[in-house]
Structure 1
Amino acid sequence: MFTGLSVFPLTPFDDSGIDEKRFTHLVSRVAEAGVDLIGALGSTGNYAYLTREHRGLVARLAVETAGDVPVMIGIGALTTGEVLALAEDAQNAGASAVLLSPVSYQTLTDEEVFGLYEDVTKELSVPLCVYENPRTTQFTFSDELHGRVAALPNVGAVKTPGAPLDQAPARIAALRNTLPADVAVGFSLDEFGAGGLGAGADVWFSVIGGLLPAECLAITRAVAQGDVPQALALSERMAPFWDLFRRYGSMRVITAAAAHLGLVVPPNLPRPLREIPPAARQEVAAALDALDVRA
């Protein structure tokens, strides 16, 4: 399950709640494209801004719509009790895996993060993917902590930010020296996806793949066929998005791209978040046009 391309669709919503029709359309698009794993309620899915009721609905819709494609559900929350409740909801919905980052208001210690995963993995019947997202959580895993957490029962993968092309082989080697052999290694920053797969990562956890699955599958398949230079060239065509991600954050940019394609209705960001400026939206449109993307 934790191989190839894992994608994270947006969660369309408005003041009245989840836009079920648009969400299921986004999920069906990536499922029909042939991605390897669908991640609902990741950072791009706005999980941190949704109620438990909304998250349960999204989990059920994702599993029902994905067909034969496995679905991983994000269960991150501020307290262990909330995480356990969300894990139960995800499993009841039929999730094939869960995704957990150490979300907190107070900065967590290594022992607190280990305790979170220890408490949660004991209650799981599906694999867990450890989500390291220091930009959002303000917590960075040491390799030693990754190894301790990955040794817990039901841990199936580690989702890390990744590393630039020249550093990717060493980063992957360091993780493989620390993690159990059966725990997959994946990169999550899209600009490092092609290089990470080419350097031996098991999976690319892709934000942009939730909107542009065909383009990302072309990269993944090029690596699988041994043509890493082609994968890197295809990734370079998407470089305007990598630049926009760095400037505005991937969720804002992907939301703007989805709106341009008519896949979501703006505003699709929870306040206080705001849309990117008009000039940036024009850059998003130009990047989509350069790739000849159609909804």
Structure 2
Amino acid sequence: MGTSADPPSIAVDPKVVVAAVLPMPSPGPALRDYALSELDAAMEALAQPGDDIHEGIHRARKGLRRVRATLALGDGILGPGVALLDREIKHLNTGLSALRDAHALVETLERMHKRARKGDTRQLFDLARAEAIAARVATAEVELSMDPALCQRRGLIEVLMAAVPALDWKRLTPSAARMALADSDDRSQKARDTALQKGRDSDWHRWRRRARRASQQRRALEAVGVSVPASEPEVFDKRTTERLGEAQDLSLLLDHCGKGSPFSKERRRALRAYAEPALVRLRKRISTVRR
């Protein structure tokens, strides 16, 4: 009787087996370095002299938001210190908001002047911009008298930079980071739906904040080499992003036409008459984007 032949052997590369078994390296250390670089850049931005301080504050606040977005990728994983660190960064960023808002108003009026088609509207924005610049100077004088050269803020950033490495960054896995990003995308989508359905100012602001957070997290992960799915095109397409920026300009302008406004009574009335219907029309265009 013949015996059946043994099945042919298959050569297995041990390197392939090991690669399939070993987990992906943690992106945590790279994200730690990314957060530290943003904090370092924020500290440098706050050291800008003279009128450059306004642009420096803008860059610093953007960097601080990126750090908070990065920390949020490891919320619940990096250890109990992350909540305290995030709270201190948020407090620091909020403390810079008066200076940033004063400058943002000037920038907003400059952009709106460029977009305006009618001569009388451009003149309105020119006059309002002059008042906004005067208010910006006054705000800077007050803030810098309490914190000359923003030394206290820069010192606080140094303290925060010392605390970042103490978090448990090695625990953060690629899958956990992607899950955190997916949660942010989901919150952004829900905020978008609420804004389009209810149309309240607070809903629109919430959508913008959550969309920005998701975008910053995607940026951080891509910067350290973690592959992430593309964002939803109907949520983050260029035209919608531009319109959201224009809507933010109009909202900011209206916010400065109320209590504590830098504008004269006559100017406030004229600016509201322009901005309120323009904001309604713009939000209607945004709401018609394919979903």
TM-score by length of structure 1 reads 0.28
If asked which structure has higher relative contact order (CA below 8 Å, sep 6+), I would say 2
The structure whose Rg is larger is 2
Q: Which has the higher strand share?
A: 1
TM-score by length of structure 2 reads 0.28
Q: Which has the higher helix share?
A: 2
